[in-house]
Amino acid sequence: DAGVTQSPTHLIKTRGQQVTLRCSPKSGHDTVSWYQQALGQGPQFIFQYYEEEERQRGNFPDRFSGHQFPNYSSELNVNALLLGDSALYLCASSLSPGVGELFFGEGSRLTVL
């Protein structure tokens, strides 16, 4: 049973560029949440997708956007990258939006130069 998979695992971008991160949820899960984890900090909620719609959003600017596909996989897009966007981006899936147990992937490490 495959868990949550994310790609790419590492990437380097320069300021002003755009990035797309991808996530496949755990088998049987239909809800995907994205978190940003800065070095030495706890994960910060970006947004959650369910039924191909953004259901809830954290305190992140509109430069952060996402998408969920009919197969429940998801993408996180970040435009106009800033140095402060350097972080580990974690995808988590769950059985439904209201279920508390999240299953995390290993993350995509983004470095913005």
Partner 1 sequence: QQQVKQSPQSLIVQKGGISIINCAYENTAFDYFPWYQQFPGKGPALLIAIRPDVSEKKEGRFTISFNKSAKQFSLHIMDSQPGDSATYFCAARVGSASKIIFGSGTRLSIRP
Binding site for partner 1 (CB under 8 A): 4, 31, 33, 35, 40-45, 48, 50, 55-56, 58, 90, 92, 97-98, 100-107
Q: In this complex, which beta carbon is closest to partner 1, that of residue 31 or of residue 80? A: 31
Long-range interactions of 64-71: CB distance < 8 A, separation 24+: 66/34, 68/32
Q: Nearest approach, Cβ of 6 to partner 1 (angstroms)?
A: 8
Q: Nearest approach, Cβ of 32 to partner 1 (angstroms)?
A: 11
Q: Nearest approach, Cβ of 15 to partner 1 (angstroms)?
A: 26
Strands (E), 51-100: 53-57, 64-68, 74-78, 87-94
> Residue 88 is which amino acid?
L
